[in-house]
Chain A
Amino acid sequence: QKEVEQDPGPLSVPEGAIVSLNCTYSNSAFQYFMWYRQYSRKGPELLMYTYSSGNKEDGRFTAQVDKSSKYISLFIRDSQPSDSATYLCAMSAGGTSYGKLTFGQGTILTVHP
Chain B
Amino acid sequence: SQTIHQWPATLVQPVGSPLSLECTVEGTSNPNLYWYRQAAGRGLQLLFYSVGIGQISSEVPQNLSASRPQDRQFILSSKKLLLSDSGFYLCAWSVTGELFFGEGSRLTVL
Instruction: Please give the residue numbers on chain A whose beta carbons come within 8 Å of chain B beta carbons, in ascending order.
Output: 4, 6, 32, 34, 36, 41-46, 49, 88, 90, 94, 98-101, 103-106
Contact = CB atoms under 8 A, between A and B. Distances in A.
20 contacts: A4-B43, A34-B99, A36-B101, A41-B106, A43-B104, A44-B44, A44-B90, A45-B101, A46-B101, A98-B32, A98-B97, A99-B49, A99-B94, A100-B46, A101-B46, A103-B45, A104-B43, A105-B41, A105-B42, A105-B43
Contact of A43 (B41, B94, B102): B102
Given A49-B98, A99-B34, A103-B45, 15 more contacts: A32-B97, A41-B106, A42-B104, A43-B102, A43-B103, A46-B99, A88-B43, A90-B44, A98-B32, A99-B32, A99-B94, A99-B97, A101-B46, A103-B43, A106-B43
Interface of B: 6, 32, 34, 41-46, 49, 59, 90, 92, 94, 97-104, 106
A104 B38 CA distance: 12
B92 A99 contact: yes
A94 B6 CA distance: 26
